[in-house]
Each structure stands twice: as C-alpha cells, then as structure tokens.
Amino acid sequence: MIDQKLLCRPTPEVDESFQSYVERLAFYNHVKPQDLLLFSQAKLKYPATSREQKLSILTLLSELTEYSESEDLFDIRLVPKEYKTLFDFDFKKVCQKCLYDRAYFRDIWSLKNYVVCAEHRTPLSSHCLSCGKMFSFESAFLKKCDGCNSHFRGTSNAQSVYDPISEYIFKVFDGSDSALKEITKKIKQLQPYIRLINNGRFENIESLRKGNLTGFARLQASSAELMLDNDKSVEAFSKYLASKVNKNEWSKALNGFRDVTSNPSEYEFADVMKRTILERTGDIGDGAISYDLLAKIWKLDASKLTLAIQESVPDEVLIKTGRHKIRCSDFTNYWEHILAAYSDLG
C-alpha cells in the first residue's frame, strides 16, 4: 500500500481513453507515464498487455489518486485480437472543438472509421494545419499545437460533413466487445462501396485516411450513402464496369472486389454485382466473364455451372478460346436456361 498521493489528481472522464488518463496524470505531475510505475513495489509494465498487468496498474493508480474510476476507461491495448484492426494504435486524431471544451483524448477517436466528430460534425484532424506537426497528448492537454503553439479553437471554418458511419460508431460504441462486433460487421459491408466510390482502387485508401482525414471522411460518407441505396449502387457499379469496358474481360475489373467474389454470402454487395450483371443497364459493354467468377458470385459449384452453360447455351455462342468464359449478354440471355440446367444436375 502506498501512502503517497500524487499532488495533482485530475479525475478520469467517462469517455476518456485509458492511455489519455495515464498520460494526463503524468503530464500534470511533470513526470513520464513510466515514472508513475516507480511508486509501486511490484514490477509493472506500461502499457499493460495482459489483464494481470492491467489490474496491478489500476491498483497503483487508485492508490496514487484515490479514484477507482480509471478501471472503467476503455483501453485499446486490451481489445480482443479479432477487433484490433478497428483501431489506430499510434496514429492520433482529434476533434479540436472537443479538446477546446475539455482537454483529454476521447476513447472513440482511436477507431479508424470514426473520422467526423458526431457532436460537432467536423472532420477529425491528426496534424497541425499551420506547421504540419502530428498532434501529441501534450498538445491535447494544452489545447494547442506543441510545434508552433497555435491554439485550438472552439470554432473553425472547417466544412461540416455528415458521415453516417461516424454517427453509427458514436451511437453503438460503448467499449464493449458486442459493440465492437457490430462495428466490425458494418465496416466490412462498407468496404466494397468505398472501393467502388474510389473507382475500384483500394491500395491508396489507407494513405488517404492518414494523410487527408477530410478527404477520407467524404469518401466514407458517400460510400455509406451508396450502401443504403441498392438501385444507385447498381447504377454506380454499372458505370464502374462501363469505365472498364475496353479491358474486355470483366474478371480484371472485378479483381478489386475479390473479398466479395470469394465470399459472396458474407457481403450485401454481392447482390449489387448480380443485379448489375443480369440487368445490364447503361453502357457496361459486353465483357467476357469467366465461369469460375460467375460460380463464385452466385455461389454455385464451378464444374456443375460449366456443364449447365455448355448444355443450355448454343455451341456457336460459346467462346471457344482460352479459359471458360462467356460474354455477359449471352449469360444474361440464357440465364434462366442455365439456372434450370444447373438445378437439373441435382
């Protein structure tokens, strides 16, 4: 039992991240977080990576501060493995308006897809606009950039953005595993729509998020809106395919959507793909599509589908060269026959 108390003992805030609280305690007592551990006889490690270590740190903190509320604070270091990809561990983003009101890190800010403050509707930021320095805990506690001293303001000219995903996360997130499960599901469904809005490209999205949060917030917001509208999604996907018409083979254009084509039953977006191929609205060209890919999207057995196509599509229509492929228009025209032949195969 320690009889010393820290001289400065700020109280934990309910929506504060655990790391923020530890950093804040250390900051106001002019020490480093690691120095706080020296008060304990036990050998402690910060940040804790196991429940036991965490319990010892909590005991220490409650002895040093007389508050026990820090045990309720959300700690990303102890998030179950399956939810780790939801979070940024080193990259920090903040709402300057929130900080202006109360200077501590909100737990929700570490969620990668939480990019627009639900309270202020302004995109979060990670870097100082004046000098480009990345925000630190110190800058948050001092309400100013620790590079150039420019102060955070309660008002800004930043354009407000309505992002349904950030709003959703704000509504659902309470630090519990079940909330993280819900958020994971939502983000997974969103991925193909983000890719579609980003013209089929995915590799640059992560750097966009880290380099230009406002740009990413807009991309995410439009993707979320598209996700709610099946007709518009089909239209957008048709446009996307039309833009790839000269690639002749759709399989290539669909490459960016492999997550969906390899697990169609897990994605709502698979229905957008099916509808786009069957309805053929707009100038989506007449690309050839491989039997394999069709089998994946429709979740059919590839060899049975091959037989069904060969049985129901006239010989002169079938593409004879190369891998098994069929022109999209032929697939659409013979779709019902193909489906019938497929079910006849039992």
Around Cβ 149, how many Cβ atoms within 10 Å?
Answer: 12
Can you tell me which of 145, 190, 294, 305 binds Zn ion, judged by CB under 5 A? 145
Helix/strand/coil (H/E/C) assignment for every residue in 178-203: HHHHHHHHHHHHHHHHHHHHCCCCCC
Name the residue nearer to Zn ion (CB basis): 144 or 296: 144
Name the residue nearer to Zn ion (CB basis): 119 or 138: 119
Q: In angstroms, what is the minimal distance from the CB of 87 to Zn ion?
A: 19
Q: In angstroms, what is the minimal distance from the CB of 129 to Zn ion?
A: 8
Name the residue nearer to Zn ion (CB basis): 93 or 244: 93
Query: Residue 249: beta bridge partners?
Result: 288
Name the residue nearer to Zn ion (CB basis): 97 or 325: 97
Can you tell me which of 33, 47, 147, 164 binds Zn ion, judged by CB under 5 A? 147
Q: In angstroms, what is the minimal distance from the CB of 97 to Zn ion?
A: 4
Q: Give the ranges where the chain is alpha helix by DSSP (H).
A: 18-28, 33-36, 51-65, 96-101, 137-142, 164-172, 177-197, 205-211, 213-227, 230-243, 250-253, 258-262, 269-279, 291-297, 302-312, 328-344
> How many residues of this chain interact with Zn ion, rule: CB under 5 A?
13
Name the residue nearer to Zn ion (CB basis): 40 or 212: 212
Distances (CA, A) of 288 to 225, 250, 291, 316: 30, 6, 10, 15
Name the residue nearer to Zn ion (CB basis): 117 or 328: 117
Stretch that binds Zn ion, among 146-154, 167-175, 237-245, 336-344 (CB under 5 A): 146-154
Please tell me what DSSP assigns to residue 7.
Answer: S
Q: Please report the sign of the dihedral spanned by the C-alpha atoms of residue 224, residue 135, residue 177, residue 175.
A: negative
Please tell me what DSSP assigns to residue 151.
Answer: B
Q: From residue 65 to residue 104, what is the string marking binding to Zn ion with x (rule CB under 5 A)?
A: ------------------------------x-xx------
Please tell me what DSSP assigns to residue 154.
Answer: S
> What count of Cα atoms within 13 Å lies in the side-chain half-sphere of residue 252?
10
Q: In angstroms, what is the minimal distance from the CB of 140 to Zn ion?
A: 12
What is the phi/psi pair of residue 327, to 5°? -70, 145
Evaluate whether 182 touches 88 at the Cβ level (below 8 Å): no
Can you tell me which of 2, 148, 317, 340 binds Zn ion, judged by CB under 5 A? 148
Q: What length is written for the chain?
A: 346
Q: In angstroms, what is the minimal distance from the CB of 172 to Zn ion?
A: 18
Q: In angstroms, what is the minimal distance from the CB of 143 to Zn ion?
A: 13
Q: From residue 184 to residue 223, what is the string marking binding to Zn ion with x (rule CB under 5 A)?
A: ----------------------------------------
Name the residue nearer to Zn ion (CB basis): 64 or 116: 116
Q: In angstroms, what is the minimal distance from the CB of 117 to Zn ion?
A: 3
Q: In angstroms, what is the minimal distance from the CB of 89 to Zn ion?
A: 22
Encoded amino acid at 274, one letter: K
Q: From residue 106 to residue 135, what is the string marking binding to Zn ion with x (rule CB under 5 A)?
A: -----------x-xx-------x-xx-x--
Name the residue nearer to Zn ion (CB basis): 145 or 288: 145
Distances (CA, A) of 12 to 16, 65, 100, 173: 7, 10, 17, 18
Omega of the bond leading into 47 within 30 degrees of 0 (cis): yes
Q: In angstroms, what is the minimal distance from the CB of 100 to Zn ion?
A: 9
Please tell me what DSSP assigns to residue 13.
Answer: P
Name the residue nearer to Zn ion (CB basis): 70 or 139: 139
Contact residues: Zn ion, CB under 5 A: 95, 97-98, 117, 119-120, 128, 130-131, 133, 145, 147-148
